[in-house]
A and B are shown apart, each in its own frame.
Chain A
């Protein structure tokens, strides 16, 4: 089986989530990569170093500068002819483009796969991760998005792929990029962090959140996450949100501070290796999934923990 993986990149390097998609693709067969972007030679060269990669197709054109689905999807559809499966990381950009490709190819997309069970059989979570479905596709071609935390990341050096330019399909003229407001974050990236410290509604306000959660995170070199309640209350920006509708994470250690543990939040973190919960309500649902629980007032416990580490 020949697979094509769409690469998410910043023109110079390949984003981590793509590496998990490469691992999933390798379970299906030979792996080629597609780097579409503007001035993306660096990303293509980096992609060629990924272990297990055959060809890296580079489509360099102004139309692909911001990965607009309207422009990228026709490119992938054109290339899909030579492949049995097209895989995307299940990031916001992957989720934006993949279904557009699937519909143009007239195939059902398989979202957010957790494992490869056979050439056409996969597992995926449904109902906020409360059930795992095993599905078999009857389509001739597969379009798949891959959950980044469910597969090991392919090694980024030691590969010997060859970079080959492919011609661009041009600008569809339907949409244009206006601007972006990206959150500045010097901490590790949430989806690839080994340790995450997450805060919930109990943190009271943005200032308290900063003063309580950030020092602990810094001590542990951890990324900072948040529940929806904390995001909605304006404690931290949206992209900190962990959960069914935010980011799905699976770090070594997840420390949930002042988070009750609603179904939607658990959906985003319950595959973490070790879950630690600090909450004053000993009946909070978070304690049902926590490996280590500490019951008490977070405003005294968290500073104490920070100072003792």
Chain B
């Protein structure tokens, strides 16, 4: 079967985002961008399934600006076979991304779509579930273990109280949690080879999807700043502080 892996180019997770002074958004000019960490895990899982013989082809896809090509090249260098870039400079909401992915699924007919559970920029945690809904397929969200068993897939999910295992009929949609795997680094030879792998560029219009946003961002602000704290010299002072707060007797 084929596996489709959507990846997103986002601000690098180590960078502290700065809110623009005019409140229109977060300043992304001259900021290091990388593949969304959950998507790296998704690519890794797809490659492992291929290495186990459970998949024949891995297609990486990204919806975003021309620079998202770099993110796709990273996926190709890790081991994806080919890539599709749906190019747009607009910010695309999860619902529109899900609609684009639905159209791509109709063309490519993958047995599995593996997405990250959330993008660390908009923190929405929606796209995988929305895609599953639009396709009428089952979803295994927040996966920490994925096992193909014939015409179904068993997914262990990270839930609030612990872990839960569900069995989904294939084709299915899976979203990755942090503990699913440890993504590999792309080696230099593989980065060179990835430059020769096919990368198709498309537009949202090619898939007939309207990407106009449904949510209007009115302002983006810094969160309230915590007032400076104090340092206490020893445990006794801390104990007294806790007593003052009514915590200890």
Please give the residue numbers on chain A whose beta carbons come within 8 Å of chain B beta carbons, in ascending order.
Answer: 66, 68-70, 73, 91-93, 95-104, 106-112, 121, 125-139, 172-183, 191, 195, 219-220, 228, 231-232, 237-239, 244-245, 247, 252-253, 263-264, 270, 274-276, 282, 287, 289-295, 301, 304-305, 308-309
Contacts and interface: CB of A to CB of B under 8 A. Distances in A.
A305 B239 contact: yes
A307 B225 CA distance: 34
A292 B241 contact: yes
A109 B97 CA distance: 13
10 tightest A-B CB contacts, nearest first:
A99-B129, A103-B130, A108-B214, A103-B133, A174-B138, A99-B126, A182-B162, A291-B229, A178-B165, A175-B138
Interface of B: 11, 13-14, 16-17, 19, 26, 93-95, 98, 117-118, 120-134, 136-142, 144, 154, 157-169, 177-179, 213-223, 226, 229-232, 234-236, 238-239, 241-242, 245, 247-248
B114 to A, nearest CB: 16
Given A175-B167, A245-B178, A275-B229, A108 B94 contact: yes
Given A93-B160, A131-B223, A309-B242, A102 B126 contact: yes
24 contacts: A66-B164, A93-B159, A95-B129, A97-B129, A98-B126, A99-B129, A100-B133, A103-B129, A109-B95, A111-B125, A126-B220, A128-B17, A131-B19, A132-B222, A136-B218, A138-B214, A174-B168, A176-B166, A177-B164, A179-B164, A181-B162, A191-B160, A219-B248, A309-B242
B129 A178 contact: no
Contact of A108 (B95, B136, B144, B168): B95
Contact of A291 (B127, B161, B230, B234): B230
Contact of A177 (B16, B166, B213): B166
A238 to B, nearest CB: 6
Contacts of B215: 108, 110, 135-138
B180 to A, nearest CB: 11
B165 A179 contact: yes
